[in-house]
Amino acid sequence: MKKSNVTTIVAIGIGAALFFVLGRFVAIPSPVPNTNISLQYAVLALLAILYGPVAGGLIGFIGHTLIDLSWGGSPWWSWIIASAFVGVMMGLLSKKIKLSEGVFGKKEMITFTIANVVAHLIAWAGIAPILDIVIYAEPVEKLFSQGAMAATANILTSVIVGGLLAVAYSKTVAKKGSLDKE
Domain at 5-172: CATH code: 1.10.1760.20
Strand partners, 28: 37
State if pTM tops 0.75: yes
pLDDT digit string, tens, across residues 4-50:
899 999 999 999 999 999 999 998 999 998 888 999 999 999 999 99
Count helices and strands (H / E) in the chain: 8, 2
What proportion of the chain, given as a percentage, has pLDDT over 90?
80
SS3 10: helix
Q: What pLDDT band is residue 179 in, cutting at 50, 70 and 90? A: low
pLDDT digit string, tens, across residues 38-88:
999 999 999 999 999 999 999 999 999 999 999 988 999 999 999 999 999
Please enumerate in sequence order all residues whose Cβ is within 8 A of that of 172, keeping only pairs 6 or more positions apart, or say none.
102
Domain parsing of the chain, residue ranges? 5-172
